[in-house]
Amino acid sequence: MNLMDKNIRQFIKKHHVFNLAVFNENEVWTASCFYAYWEDKNALIFLSDEDTKHSQMMIINPNVAGTITLETRIVGKIQGLQFKGTVEKADNEILSISKKIYYKRFPYALGTQSTFWILFVQYAKLTDNKLGFGKKIIWQAEEQKNALL
């Protein structure tokens, strides 16, 4: 597995909310979700009830996109991540690992009855003005790269 660029990994670790975009047929929807980062799998773990609009849409179409941003008015500090990937409900062995990672980050969520989801990031683009104005770092999963060849 090829891990994401270290700058992207560090940015993901610093934050805890992503904005998720889902779609199917002619409908789009967004949601903001707390996440925990599963670095070894390039994945974001989050909770959401299965009856929410975005969960219902993810069940139909697991292809998603999203953003993680730092809010600032200082141009030199602008940072933001755009990503796309696929989502699946955590079950069996993955559920156990997901809970451990998520509850370590958010211990107050223990006992929550929501569904655990895993978002496997396949493409990420970090804009980081701390590295230079408009500096972009792009990462793509190996499977995605090979599919494009």
Distance of CA 4 to the CA centre of its chain: 12
Q: Supply 49's token pair.
A: 């009830």
Separation CA 60–CA 119 (nearest Å): 15
The answer to the question of residue 119 being in a domain is yes
Whole-number pLDDT of residue 147: 41
CATH number for the domain harbouring residue 118:
2.30.110.10
What is the band of 106 on the pLDDT scale with cuts at 50, 70, 90? Answer: very high
The answer to the question of residue 55 being in a domain is yes
Answering whether pTM is above 0.85, one says: yes
pLDDT in tens, 51-96: 999 999 999 999 999 999 988 777 777 789 999 999 999 998 899 9
How far CA 26 is from CA of 32, 46, 57, 61, in Å, comes to: 21, 25, 11, 12
What is the average pLDDT score of the chain? Answer: 91
Count up the domains in the chain and report the number: 1
Q: Look at the block and give the residue holding tokens 């009856």.
A: 51
pLDDT over threshold 70, residue 104? yes
pLDDT in tens, 136-146: 999 999 865 44
Burial 92-114 (b: 16+ CB within 10 A, else e): eebeebbbebbbeebeeeeeeee
Whole-number pLDDT of residue 10: 96
Mean pLDDT score, 20-24: 97
pLDDT over threshold 50, residue 149? no
Higher pLDDT: 112 or 33? It is 33
The answer to the question of residue 128 being in a domain is yes
> Which range of residues forms the domain containing residue 121?
6-148
**Which SS3 state, helix, strand or coil, does residue 20 take?**
strand
What is the band of 112 on the pLDDT scale with cuts at 50, 70, 90? Answer: confident
The answer to the question of residue 1 being in a domain is no
The answer to the question of residue 33 being in a domain is yes
What is the band of 1 on the pLDDT scale with cuts at 50, 70, 90? Answer: low
The answer to the question of residue 46 being in a domain is yes
Beta strands 115-128 and 79-89 are antiparallel
Q: Which helix (H) or strand (E) holds 127?
A: strand 115-128
Helices (H), the chain: 6-14, 53-60, 92-105, 142-148
pLDDT in tens, 37-62: 999 999 999 999 999 999 999 999 99
